[in-house]
Amino acid sequence: SQQGEEDPQALSIQEGENATMNCSYKTSINNLQWYRQNSGRGLVHLILIRSNEREKHSGRLRVTLDTSKKSSSLLITASRAADTASYFCATPNMEYGNKLVFGAGTILRVKS
């Protein structure tokens, strides 16, 4: 299975702390994407990192990609209560039209 796997499954932190989530995958990729989902809602695209990039920033988000280890991390700095959500990594299956394969997600709870 190509499926990305997020770690940890759940994370609870205090507002202002940093949150780090990890994603591992199994096959070669040309990019990796992170999405956020608030409870019972649709997914929102956060960031896309290509396979030739090692790190990317977007506001309070920092994503790293290590293709040799087939892993990625998402760091949210100075977390806020509004960051409470599920976070998913998604990798494209290049054999099937870059179909996105989503992991099971990390549930992040930020306590105020």
Partner 1 sequence: ETGVTQTPRHLVMGMTNKKSLKCEQHLGHNAMYWYKQSAKKPLELMFVYNFKEQTENNSVPSRFSPECPNSSHLFLHLHTLQPEDSALYLCASSQVWGRVNEQFFGPGTRLTVL
Q: Nearest-5° angle of CA 31, CA 18, CA 33?
A: 15
Residue 74: CB minimum distance to partner 1, A: 15
Residue 99 or residue 111: which is nearer to partner 1 going by CB? Answer: 99
Residues near partner 1, by CB under 8 A: 3, 30-31, 33, 35, 40-45, 48, 50, 88, 92, 96-105
Please say which residue, 77 or 93, places its beta carbon nearer to partner 1.
Answer: 93
For residue 75, the minimal CB distance to partner 1 (Å) is: 20
**Residue 61 and residue 20: Cα distance in Å, rounded?**
10
Q: Is residue 37 within 8 Å of residue 105, measured between CB atoms?
A: yes
Q: How far is CA 42 from its chain centroid?
A: 15
- Asked whether the bond before 92 is cis by omega within 30 degrees of 0, the reply is no
CB of 59 to partner 1, least distance (A): 16
Structure letter (DSSP) for residue 83 = G
Toward partner 1, which CB reaches closer, 35 or 74?
A: 35
Q: Which is nearer to partner 1, 18 or 30 (CB)?
A: 30
